[in-house]
Amino acid sequence: NLHKKNLIYYAGVSSQSNGDRFKIEGRAIVPGVKTQDWVSTARVLVEGEEYVGFLRTDGSFAVNDIPSGSYVVEVVTPTFRFEPVRVDITSKGKMRARLVNFIKTSEVIRQPYPLQIRGSPQSYFMRRETWGWTDFLMNPMVMMMVLPLLIIVLLPKVVNTNDPEMRKEMEQSMNMLNPNPELPDVSELMTKLFSGSKGSGKAGGSSKGTRPAVKRR
């Protein structure tokens, strides 16, 4: 008889003491990674380190003993990144999860509750700048330098400038483009230049070798 009385009395006590304490529940998963591999390094932080919870072996968690209020819940591990979630608990124990927004603090974008938090691998490293030939060649400055060079070197070879007919034709077309014959014509200058240097260019076989020679003329 005494025993039963005790039980009833006790029940009263428990509802009183637990009346304003709640628990936040949820589950954290990293797609494609077994939970066993990372749960031992994970923690659930509620509002900084105000309340701390741990993950079960299946990735689910429950943080006990939390009074009503609004909290930022975050799962932290060294290897994965989980988005924090704000959880509001009313004094009656109604729960609501929403996106964290520190600027518009009253904005509500609902999130599922119990929480479903997905993790993604975290990268702490910046890709180091490496020196590769492709990087060098793809540099716009280099491209700007190389392309005209190619044109300068290759064009005279493709178009046989020694052929008098061709030359005449070209001159004609140039004259059409360039109505003022008094002005020094760039292409003419070029063709002159390269037909002159052709001999030495062949001997040297190096474009580097030709350039100083040209200047000296």
Partner 1 sequence: MVTVWLHDLMKKSNCIYCLSPFLFCRRQQYVGKVRFAHFDTHVQSSKKVVVATEKNVFAALNTRTGELFWRHVDKTGSEGNIDALLLQGADAVLVVGNGRLLRSWEVNIGGLNWEILLDSGSFQSACLVGQQDNVKYVAVLKKTVISLHYLSNGHQKWIENLPDSETVDYQAVYSGGNGEVYVLGVVPHSHIAVVVYSVDDGEILKQFSVEAAWLSNIQTSCAVVGKGMLTCVDSTTLSLYMLDLHTQLQMTQLPLQTLGLEVDPGFHPTLVSTQPNAARQPLSEFFLQLGPEHYVLLQLNNGQIVTLRDFKPAMLVSFATTGEKTVAAVMSPKNKTACGLNLFSADTGRRLLDTTLIFNMDPYGGKPETLYVQAFLKKDDSVGYRAIVQTEDHTLTFLQQPGRVMWTREEALSDVVTMEMVDLPLTGTQAELEGEFGKKADGLMSMVLKRLSSQFILLQAWVSHLWKLFYDARKPRSQVKNDVTIENLSRDEFNLQKMMVMVTASGKLFGIDSKTGTIVWKHYLDNIPSNAAFKLMVQRTTAHFPHPPQCTLLIKDKDTGLATLHVFNPIFGKKSHITPPALPQPILQSLLLPLMDQDYAKVLLLVDDQYKVSAFPSTKNVLQQLQEMASSIFFYLVDSSQGRLSGYRLRTDLSTELIWEVVIPPEIQRIVSVKGKRPNEHVHSQGRVMGDRSVLYKYLNPNLLAIVTESTDSHQERSFVGILLIDGVTGRIIHEAVQRKTKGPVHVVHSENWVVYEYWSTKSRRNEFSVIELYEGMELYNSTVFSSLDRPHAPQVLQQSYIFPSAISTLEATLTEKGITSRHLLIGLPSGGILSLPKMFLDPRRPEIVTEQSREENLIPYAPELPIRTEWYINYNQTISRVRGIYTAPSGLESTCLVVAYGLDIYQTRVYPSKQFDVLKDDYDYMLISSVLFALFFATMISKRLAEVKLLNRAWR
DSSP string, 93-117: --EEEEE--SSSTT---EE-SSEEE
Shortest gap between Cβ of 194 and partner 1 (angstroms)?
15
Hey, what are 211's tokens?
A: 């350039």
Shortest gap between Cβ of 35 and partner 1 (angstroms)?
8
The yes or no reply on residue 92 touching partner 1 (CB under 8 A) is no
Shortest gap between Cβ of 204 and partner 1 (angstroms)?
5
* Contacting residue, 24, 26, 27, 45, with partner 1 by CB under 8 A: 45
* Contacting residue, 1, 105, 134, 180, with partner 1 by CB under 8 A: 105
Determine how many CB atoms are found less than 10 A away from the CB of residue 135: 11
Q: Give the three-class secondary structure for 208.
A: helix
Shortest gap between Cβ of 88 and partner 1 (angstroms)?
10
The yes or no reply on residue 168 touching partner 1 (CB under 8 A) is no
Q: Give the three-class secondary structure for 173.
A: helix
Q: Are 106 and 70 in contact (CB under 8 A)?
A: no
What character string, x for contact with partner 1 (CB under 8 A) and - otherwise, covers 114-133? Answer: -------xxxxxxxx-xx--
